[in-house]
Every structure is written in C-alpha cells, then in structure tokens.
Chain A
C-alpha cells in the first residue's frame, strides 16, 4: 500500500537542514547523508549528496527527473563492474 498523500513525502529532518544550509551558503561540496529512505524533493535539485551505501558515500547530483525517488535508489549496496567494452561516459 502506498503512503498516504496527506502525510506528504518522507524526508529525514537532518537532510532538510543540511540541504538548506548548503543552498544558503552557495557551497558546492558533497552533502554527506546516511538517509537512503528520504524522498528527493524539488529543493534538492542542483545539489550533490553523498549517499551512504554501507561502505562509502556515493555522489548523487540531483536533477529534476529524480524528484519523488528515494536517495537509496542511486547508491547501490552491491558492487558489479562488468566489462568496459565499448561503453561510453558523457561529461555533463
């Protein structure tokens, strides 16, 4: 069953505080968080969070299409490298 709408999206309070401080300070450092369960809110767009995966903080640059997802979805807890082959990376 999905979460009741009247409650609003869940976000750990410390994540909101850290994000607000980063936005006000205009800093571009990685905001380290451990809350994988928090929902990504519109005010997080443009910030970079370091989302803990149990071992290290994985940088997650928040974009508009990530709103409504949870932080943990972008920080996998299992390692899989695969083969480089002809895979490409784009610098944005």
Chain B
C-alpha cells in the first residue's frame, strides 16, 4: 500500500523568517514530523518538515525549500500528505482508520451490506459507519470481534455479523 494519507495542513506563514503555521491531524500531533517527507495532494511537491515550537492551534515549522515569508504565505491552505508506508505497523486487531475506510462490508452469507465511510469513537468503543447505498441512511456497527469477525485488508472487505435489528429500519 502506498497511497497518500492526509496528515496535516498549512494554515499560513508564521513570522517573517519563512516559517509556516502547521496544523496536525495526527492522533499525537507531534508525529506529523515523523512521517516526513510530506507532499501535496498529487505528490508533485514534497517537503521535509522540522517542527520548531508549538504555537496556538498547531506548530511553527520549517519546510524544506521554503525560506521566505512570501513563499510560506503562498502555501496557505495546502494539505500535507504522507505515504501510507510511513505509518508504523500495528499489532493484530488494530487498524488505521484510513485502512478501514472504503472497505466493502458483507454479511456472513456473502450479501453486501454497504461500505465503511468513517470510524467513530464516542467513548463506548470504536464504531464503523456504514453507508448502505446512495442516499440511504448510514448504520453504526460496533467494531468488535463478535460483530466484525473478519477484516481482510488485501481483499478490501469486512465480514460482519451484526446484532439483530441493527440493519433494520
């Protein structure tokens, strides 16, 4: 897997020395520097990232090749992407949200239930948000061994055994 994952964005220039104001979307915000080099959405520009200090709402950072305030200001709004391969591997039964989103969900009989569009956690365990079809209401499925016995990332699908009544209106 080598797709790009959005890990942050540039909120604008910071100061007059060519630093940028960096917003991190990572679970541990400082980790964004560990995933460098970061690129833009189409991968045509890449940047080395060095965090200089934490500031209100993010970090002040130096990007490779950005030396002036004008260059830094021009990057405002740019989203930064990391290669999926840069993320550390995880133990069994732990998955990156980015890997789960987009997987097809089938029941134990093989019938398609929908597609994962988001992973949520409101304090009572992780939940997979599944879209059943275009224009249809989404369903939240507990991400447990009982409800999701199989996650097959290579085949791009999840086998679900949802509790009764979950997929009924």
Interface residues of A (CB under 8 A from B): 27-30, 32, 48, 50, 56, 58-63, 66, 73-76, 81-92
Q: Name the residue in A59, A62, A74 with the highest tally of chain B Cβ atoms < 10 Å from its Cβ.
A: A59
* Cross-chain contact A73 with B123 (CB below 8 angstroms): yes
Is the pair B96, A88 in contact by a Cβ cutoff of 8 Å? yes
Binding site for A on B (CB under 8 A): 5-8, 24-27, 31, 35, 87, 90, 93-98, 100-101, 118-119, 121-127, 137-146, 148, 151, 163-166
With both chains docked as a complex, state the minimum distance between the C-beta of A18 and any C-beta of chain B, in angstroms.
12
**Sample of 25 A–B contacts (CB below 8 Å):** A27-B164, A30-B163, A30-B165, A30-B166, A50-B165, A56-B137, A58-B140, A59-B124, A59-B142, A60-B122, A62-B124, A83-B6, A84-B98, A85-B8, A85-B26, A86-B26, A86-B27, A86-B87, A86-B96, A88-B95, A89-B96, A90-B95, A91-B93, A92-B143, A92-B145
- Complex partner residue of B35 from A27, A48, A62, A86, CB under 8 angstroms: A86
Known contacts A29-B165, A83-B25; A91 and B148 CB within 8 A of each other: yes
**In the complex the two chains form, is B122's CB within 8 Å of A75's CB?**
yes
For B144, list chain A residues within 8 Å (CB): 61, 91-92
Q: What's the nearest-Cβ distance from chain A to residue B130, in Å?
A: 12
Min distance, Cβ A58 to any Cβ of chain B, angstroms: 6
Which of B27, B137, B140 touches A59 (beta carbons < 8 Å)?
A: B140
Tell whether A87 pairs with B151 under 8 Å between CB atoms, given A59-B141, A92-B145: no
Q: Is the CB of A84 within 8 A of B101?
A: yes
Q: Chain A residue with minimal CB distance to B126?
A: A89
Q: Is the CB of A29 within 8 A of B164?
A: yes
Q: Tell me, rounded to whole Å, the shortest Cβ–Cβ distance linking A52 to chain B.
A: 12
| Chain A interface mostly | loop
Assembled-state Cα–Cα distance A40/B94 (Å): 28
Taking the closest CB of chain B, its distance from the CB of A15, in whole angstroms, is 16
The 3 closest A-B pairs by CB, nearest first: A29-B164, A83-B25, A84-B97
B129 CB to closest chain A CB (Å) equals 9
Known: A56-B140, A61-B144, A74-B123. Contact between A87 and B96, CB under 8 A? yes
From known contacts A89-B100, A91-B145, infer whether A48 and B27 are also in contact, taking CB-CB under 8 Å.
no
> Which of the residues A27, A29, A91 comes within 8 Å of B143, measured between beta carbons?
A91
